Structure 1
């Protein structure tokens, strides 16, 4: 059985994924709900919000994102971006990560001494949630990557999926069966990155 440490080590960015089913959508929902429930947040604020898109909804997100990006590029070369969009759309689903700003703002009002910190802590909590779900998908044999097409797609997402105005989109995670080899990862020396004091 893969250990927690091995799952962290194995988690990589897969930019080419397929729609071939590895686990059921119900299992994906279980993973996401478990992570949303148990990933820590400052003052137990539970500010994380998630939208999971499958099948036609997943395709629609990447089709609409492609259209928005084409408008920005105009007559420029879009081939590289199109290839990326096609790769993400080829997957079986996408997780959209949000942070509820109403929760953050309420904490800022309730704990004025820490007001400047709550937006930072919200981002940190979102990062932990993204990592937890990414690693859990890896454990299930799925490949994923983390994308950031916000704020370009914010209005489209809010309109199409009836997202509350207080939900701030932070990242998108397309996933599916891995359809590529990711190769070896290079690491900087740990002695340059970690200090130990005894």
Structure 2
């Protein structure tokens, strides 16, 4: 196994302290994100993953929409605490919205009825692999990121703002930017609790 690959995976960590001081430009960042998602595996090569890449003011607008929608659901006190975190996401270079195309999933269910119950699960797995692959690639490019889940709170507002097709389902959001603080260590549970070896 490539020690370089393992090192990159090891360096992938949640970064909340994001900034806009990156060596990589917008065009190169977009190309990287698109290429990584295209190379991520999917069941039956269905390529169900979709992405909306927001930069600058558009990314700030997204996190403002999250705040606006949360304000309808939580107390003012809770919103104050959450707002600081949302502002840290908006402080970065951009945000990737990860979607899964439900028309692709339904098409596979109809074509391969024997596996119909599994296609939504496999779609989620494909999305997770795309998210992880992008996260590692951003880390290699010197950028920090985190994976957020503000669905379904922001789904309708985001769909209206960016004309998202109705058959795209929002699965995760990834704010990214320059690393403005050290990234913490990751704690691990004991291997005996996670792994079984045989043979």
Deviates more, 1:165-174 or 1:22-31: 22-31
Most deviating of 84-93 and 186-195? 186-195
> Aligned residue for 1:140?
141
RMSD over aligned CA atoms reads: 1.2
Q: Matched residue pairs, number?
A: 197
Tell me the TM-score normalised to structure 2 length: 0.95
Contact between 2:145 and 2:176, CA under 8 Å: does it hold in 1?
yes
Match of 2:96 in 1: 95
Unaligned 5+ segments in structure 1 are none
Which segments of 5 or more consecutive residues in structure 2 lack a partner in the other structure?
Answer: none
Task: Tell whether 2:105 aligns with 1:117.
Answer: no
Q: Distance in 2 between matches of 1:99 and 1:193?
A: 29
State how far apart, in whole Å, the 2-side matches of 1:13 and 1:92 are: 16
The residue correspondences of 1:149-160 to structure 2 (distance < 5 A) are 149-160=150-161
Instruction: Map Cα deviations across residues 113-161 of structure 1 (whole Å, 9 max, x no partner).
Output: 0000000000000000000000000001100000000101100111110
Task: Quote the Cα distance in structure 1 between the aligned partners of 2:22 and 2:174.
Answer: 17
Which residue number in structure 1 is paired with residue 185 of structure 2?
Answer: 184
Deviations 1:30-70 (A, max 9, x none): 11111121111001101000000001111110111111112
Q: Structure 1 runs of 4+ off > 3 angstroms?
A: 74-77
**Could you say what secondary structure the match of 2:117 adopts?**
coil
**Following the alignment from structure 1 to structure 2, what is the Cα–Cα distance between the partners of residues 171 and 106?**
23
List per-residue Cα deviations over 1:14-34 (Å, max 9, x = no partner).
Answer: 011012233111111111111
Q: Deviations for 1:82-103, whole angstroms, at most 9, x for unmatched residues?
A: 1101110111100000000000
Following TM superposition, by how much is the alpha carbon of 1:196 offset from its aligned partner in structure 2, in angstroms?
A: 1.6
Moved more, 62-71 or 111-120: 62-71
